[in-house]
Amino acid sequence: MLDTLEKPARDAGAQDVAHFDVLIAGAGISGIGSAVHLKQQCPEKSFAILDAKDSFGGTWETHKYPGVRSDSDLYTFGYRFKPWVGAPIASADEILKYMGDVIEENQLNDHIHYGHLITHCSFSRETNLWSVEAISKADGKTHRFTCNFLWMCQGYYNHNDPYIPDWSGRDTYKGEFIHAMKWTPETDVTGKKVIVIGSGATAATIIPAMAGKAAHVTMLQRSPTYFFCSPNQNELADRLREIGIDEQTIHRVVRQQVMFDQQALTQRCLDEPDTVVEELKELIRLYAGPDFQFEPHFTPNYRVWQQRLAFVPDGDLFQAVGRGAVSVVTDHIERFTEKGILLTSGEELEADMIVAATGFKLSVLGDIPFEVDGQPVDWADTVTYRGMMFTGVPNMLWVFGYFRASWTLRVDILGDFVCHLLNHMQAKGAKRVEVKLRPEDHNMPLLPWIEEENFNPSYLVRDLHKMPKRGDKPEWRHNQDYWHEKDEIPAINLDGAEFAYS
Ligand SMILES: Cc1cc2nc3c(=O)[nH]c(=O)nc-3n(C[C@H](O)[C@H](O)[C@H](O)COP(=O)(O)OP(=O)(O)OC[C@H]3O[C@@H](n4cnc5c(N)ncnc54)[C@H](O)[C@@H]3O)c2cc1C
């Protein structure tokens, strides 16, 4: 685990140096998918994957709370190249099994260096090499790697240090307190009165999973969230299977269907949000009962789809609310007390256990110190090229996926892009590529990474100042729009003026 690796002082004199054409940081769903693309499309390139953990999976290895599952369907959260054959919403264990199969089928195991925490990355325009330092858990020493291209697949949040608001009086609380990210198999809720703070995807997962075991669960939210309830099955996939269609074809067709439906839903959220909200309510009533009261706990005050829509397979959260195992409170925390939480309204909620499902801390490029030509990189001073490359930082790409569509769709798109770029560089005899603002971009306004108006998850808003800047042109922003990018990115002219080669 990352958190068992202390970061000792930098040992820049590390002696052993291993060189690879490409280094991939992270063996999560991004790193493993990227490695497969590299192996298939650039078979001559040597590569290694470094991960601080003892195993692959990233997010799916970190989170161990009850019921942990995807909230996207696996036909699109799975890779383009590996059919998903189960129910659309998958548990962490099922996702890990799928990734394990991908690793085995593509013989990636020998390429992965587990227990290697990357602590420093520096690029030299003189040698056109990255020098990457990583502390090995096995010997506690700093090992040095060099590579021509650095493929950053280290995710977007800190896996060890979850976001816990600074609640007053937390240390006076005498019961158990835990953040969902820190759940261990020993954590037990049996017969306990539990408060879960939060109402996002994590709360929507953990609450129904605890509802049968705990004496009672209270979901405490500051503000309501939109939920999308639906059976955990894909009728088209089931039907195609029934009539004997092969899994490759089913994967391709169902992926296309899911993406088409998502695009239609996104568009409808913009065009007719009130109708969509009514439909979401109707779906909830199917599970919670026809008389379910939406006011005040299930009437969000933001535009539907402005934040990620929390998916609830089989409406399990609402089944639990409907049968009284779960209650919902919408209020603010005044402070913790010995017995529980005092709310701003004056009410005190008592609990044996309080679970924070309050999200993450953003981690920009793994919070790893980066240098280019001996100068530290401040990501906030860079401008992003399509949310993947950065001005002033050569031979590097960060896989930052989608939030409204499955993250992994972008892993496939960027996988093709990197391989295309590496092959292009080889054909040109170039050793270095960097993105540069073109003359016509110089007066472009430099804006925060996301448009808060359009999409505003709180972990991004909290630390937006640490993120690279975006411009106001399509080339200089991560538009979070799979439906445009799936055509735009493959069509990029790699000899365009925004790419400088040496
Ligand atoms: C509970 C949960 C459910 C989610 N469900 C969905 C979903 O259904 N659909 C969806 O699209 N998205 C979902 N997400 C978002 C999800 O995190 C991404 O979709 C995806 O898993 C990110 O994959 P990744 O490989 O880019 O990063 P991560 O999963 O974060 O993996 C990064 C890896 O890099 C390693 N690493 C980081 N820093 C270093 C370092 N300095 N040195 C060495 N190694 C390092 C980590 O150890 C980790 O293994 C979910 C997130 C959570 C927390």
| Mean pLDDT score, 323-337 | 96
Q: Return the ligand 1 atom nearest residue 2 CA.
A: 47
Instruction: Give this prediction's pTM.
Output: 0.95
Q: Does residue 121 register a pLDDT over 80?
A: yes
Q: What is the separation, in whole angstroms, between the first and last Cα of the chain?
A: 39
CA of residue 27 to ligand 1 center, whole Å: 9
Two domains, one topology: 17-160+361-501 and 170-356: yes
Please report the pLDDT score of residue 417 as a whole number: 98
Express each pLDDT in 173-187 by its tens digit. 999 999 999 999 999
Among 116, 154, 403, say which to mutate for ligand 1: greatest number of ligand atoms within 8 Å of CB: 154
Report the DSSP pairing between strands 348-350 and 375-376.
unpaired
442 pLDDT above the threshold of 60: yes
Spacing, Cα 405 to ligand 1 middle (Å): 15
Rounded to the nearest whole angstrom, what is the distance from the C-alpha of residue 327 to the centroid of ligand 1?
A: 31
pLDDT at 7: 46
Q: Are strands 129-136 and 116-124 parallel, antiparallel or unpaired?
A: antiparallel
Banded model confidence at residue 303, pLDDT cuts 50, 70, 90: confident
**The predicted structure's pLDDT at residue 262:** 87
Angle at CA 365, nearest 5°, toward 83 and 463?
110
- Examine the pLDDT at 348 and tell me if it is beyond 80: yes
Indicate which atom in ligand 1 lies nearest the CA of residue 57.
Answer: 49
Average pLDDT over residues 238-262: 96
Question: How much distance in Å is there from the Cα of 369 to the middle of ligand 1?
Answer: 20
Instruction: Give residue ranges with CB within 6 A of ligand 1.
Output: 2, 25-31, 50-53, 58-59, 63, 68, 70-72, 77, 117-118, 153-155, 159, 202, 366, 368, 399, 401, 406-407
As a whole number, the mean pLDDT across the chain is: 94
Nearest-CA residue for atom 18 of ligand 1:
407
Rounded-to-10 torsion of CA 233, 238, 241, 242 = 150
Confidence of residue 163 (pLDDT cuts 50, 70, 90): very high
Predicted local distance difference test score (pLDDT) of residue 134: 98
Q: Which pLDDT belongs to residue 2?
A: 41
The predicted-structure confidence for 200-214, as pLDDT tens digits, reads as follows 889 999 999 999 899
DSSP 378-405: -GGGSBEETTTEETTB-SEEE----SSS
Which numeric CATH code is attached to 17-160+361-501?
3.50.50.60
- Tens digits of residue pLDDT in 68-112: 999 999 999 999 999 999 999 999 999 999 999 999 999 999 999
Residue range 170-356 forms a domain whose CATH class is alpha beta
Distance CA 359, CA 346 (A): 26
Which pLDDT band holds residue 301 (cuts at 50, 70, 90)? confident
CA 494 to centroid of ligand 1, rounded, Å = 29
Confidence category of residue 310, pLDDT binned at 50, 70, 90: confident
Percent of all residues in the chain with a pLDDT value above 90, rounded to a whole number: 88
The 10s digit of each residue's pLDDT in 378-426 is 999 999 999 999 999 999 999 999 987 899 999 999 999 999 999 999 9
What is the enclosing helix (H) or strand (E) of 356? strand 353-356
Query: How many angstroms is it from 265 CA to the middle of ligand 1?
Result: 25
Three-class secondary structure of residue 50 per DSSP = strand
For ligand 1, atom 52, name the residue with the nearest CA: 59
The pLDDT of residue 11 is 54
pLDDT surpasses 60 at 13: no
Pocket-testing residue among 59, 144, 156, ligand 1, by greatest number of atoms within 8 A of Cβ: 59
Convert the pLDDT of each residue in 43-78 to its tens digit: 999 999 999 999 999 999 999 999 999 999 999 999
Residue nearest to atom 4 of ligand 1 (CA): 70
- With vertex at residue 337, the alpha carbon angle to CA 333 and CA 339, rounded to the nearest 5 degrees, is 115
Domain spans, the chain: 17-160+361-501, 170-356
Above 50 in pLDDT, residue 248?
A: yes
Distance 58 CA to ligand 1 centre (A): 5
What's the pLDDT at 480? 87
Q: What pLDDT score was predicted for residue 405?
A: 87
Distance 308 CA to ligand 1 centre (A): 16
pLDDT, tens only, 443-473: 999 999 988 776 778 888 999 999 999 999 9
3-class secondary structure per residue, 82-149: CCCCCCCCCEHHHHHHHHHHHHHHCCCHHHEECCEEEEEEEEECCCCEEEEEEEECCCCCEEEEEEEE
Rounded distance from Cα 59 to ligand 1 centre (Å):
4
CA-to-CA dists, residue 424 to 148, 431, 500, angstroms: 14, 11, 13
Token pair, residue 445, equals 């306004």
